[in-house]
Amino acid sequence: MSNSKTLAYREALDKNPVSKRTWWALAIVLIVLITDGYDAQAISYMVPILSEQWSLPAATFAPVFTANILGLTLGAMLISPLGDRFGSRNVLMTCVLTYSLLTIGMIFTYDITTLMIVRFLCGLGMGAAMPNALALMSDYSPTRYRTLMVTIAAAGYSLGGMLSGLVSAALVDTFGWKVVLMIGGIIPIVMLPFIYKFLPEAVNNLLSDAAPYTRFRTMVKDFIPAWNVPESFNHLPKNVAVAAGESKFPVLNLFRNGWARPTIFIWGTYMSMMMLTYFYLSWLPVLLKQSGLSINVANVMTSLFLLSGVIGALLISYVADKVQNKSPILFTMFVGAAIATLFIGFQNTNPTLLVVGVLAAGFCIIGGNLIMNSFTSSFYPDYARATGIGWGLGIGRLGSIMAPVLGGYLLASNTDVSNIFFIFIVPAAIASFFILFVRKPKGYHAAKEDAASVVFHH
């Protein structure tokens, strides 16, 4: 069932112009997720330097990457659901403080073991930050712009990863590798007061207060200044969905009241698409080099792969906000990912067509992933929003772990480059199949309409 008070709030949010405070909230979330992506990718640029300074082969650092991915997975699955119980803003601030301090802490590591521990703990914070940040952005975005706003915010993670590489290239030779980590640690700490000031708590948590909902009314003055919350608001029914969100095991909310079926298909979609994404991110430079491109061109193409994805996400999300059912859009993106991967497999010896294929793949793969985050953030009810995104991303990380291993095995087996790309068409095909079965429970729509009638007639 849907909360009548939440429906009244969303109705007012959708009927009024977007406030300055909403744009401020988007800017804050975007910057926070840029720092998240920056710190997540920083280790990739530090390992070659540490390998030389510690006189260790680069392969020795494999457990560090594994620990980081494990931390990201557990953070998304175990810590992000706490936002639905204790408030997404509270959890987000804790996560930002955690990964910022631990990023600085990397400066003081002295061997593989300490670095591995620091990166695991850092991953816990980074893994839980994005689901809670996107849950907040979804709460405060009007429906007509929600997909676009949440996608812009989610794109911050990819932009942060790109910035990490650019900062490393620009500053390491002059100032040393530690400055990259200091930047990655200090900026998120500076953002904490802005998060506290400009991001209110999640609406579901504000409405868990007793009447007259003082915190909620304060938020409304900033985000919907034209809406005067009526006194009758205090007497609207408070529905069992809010109480359900108080479960000691928030993940169970994803399997109650008809949500189990779409949850399973969402998880399968995430796993398949993240497997495809991390295949490209892990092995694209190597495969492009084997196709005849220089390593510098291959690295540039990988960056363009990411950039094309961000552009694709922003363009498609604008279109997605115009339609009610977004599953066909995601289906089209995932089918496009399969076609682009097939195209690269056939044209990997033609540099010009290879560039076209990589850009198309980035547009559909990275763009599809970012829109998937936005889709999930608005798919689940308020009381399970952070949990839904967190577990989707967490399960998806299993795909991100499998992709580099499978790609490495195929390369070690001297599999032809074309055949490697053909094999990775399968995850895209599976994702496009799964997304077609993601539908909200029928009873959820009926309850929403009933609750809405209560709101509109007060």
pLDDT tens sequence across 375-422: 898 888 878 888 899 999 899 988 888 887 888 888 888 888 889 899
The CATH architecture one would assign to domain 17-225 is: Up-down Bundle (1.20)
Query: Residue 451 has what pLDDT?
Result: 39
Domains 17-225 and 259-440 share a fold: yes
Query: Residue 236 has what pLDDT?
Result: 66
Percentage with pLDDT > 70 across the chain? 92
**CA-CA distance, 222 to 400, in Å (whole number)?**
40
Query: Residue 238 has what pLDDT?
Result: 58
CB 321 within 8 A of CB 144: yes
Percentage with pLDDT > 90 across the chain? 40
Instruction: Specify the residue for token string 């910022």.
Output: 100
Length of the chain, please? 458
- SS3 assignment for 276-340: HHHHHHHHHHHHHHHCCCCHHHHHHHHHHHHHHHHHHHHHHHHHHCCCCCCHHHHHHHHHHHHHH
**CA-CA distance, 81 to 123, in Å (whole number)?**
16
* Peptide bond between residue 193 and the one before it cis (omega within 30 degrees of 0): no
| In the predicted structure, residue 447 carries a pLDDT above the cut 60 | no
Query: Residue 385 has what pLDDT?
Result: 84
Query: Residue 1 has what pLDDT?
Result: 35
The CATH architecture one would assign to domain 259-440 is: Up-down Bundle (1.20)
Q: Is 239 in a helix, a strand, or coil?
A: coil
| In the predicted structure, residue 224 carries a pLDDT above the cut 80 | yes
- Where exactly are the structural domains of the chain? 17-225, 259-440
- Mean pLDDT along residues 192-215: 88
Task: Name the DSSP letter for residue 380.
Answer: S
Query: Measuring CA to CA, which residue among 66, 120, 131 is closest to residue 98?
Result: 120
Q: CA angle, 311 as apex, 310 and 312 as ends, to 5°?
A: 90
Q: What is the mean pLDDT of the chain?
A: 85
Question: Which residue would you say has higher pLDDT here, 304 or 448?
Answer: 304
Query: Measuring CA to CA, which residue among 183, 133, 128, 152 is closest to residue 317?
Result: 152
Query: Residue 443 has what pLDDT?
Result: 64
Query: Residue 233 has what pLDDT?
Result: 73
Query: Residue 247 has what pLDDT?
Result: 56
pTM: 0.81
Which tokens go with 300?
């540039």
The pLDDT confidence band at residue 190, using thresholds 50, 70 and 90, is very high
Query: Residue 444 has what pLDDT?
Result: 64
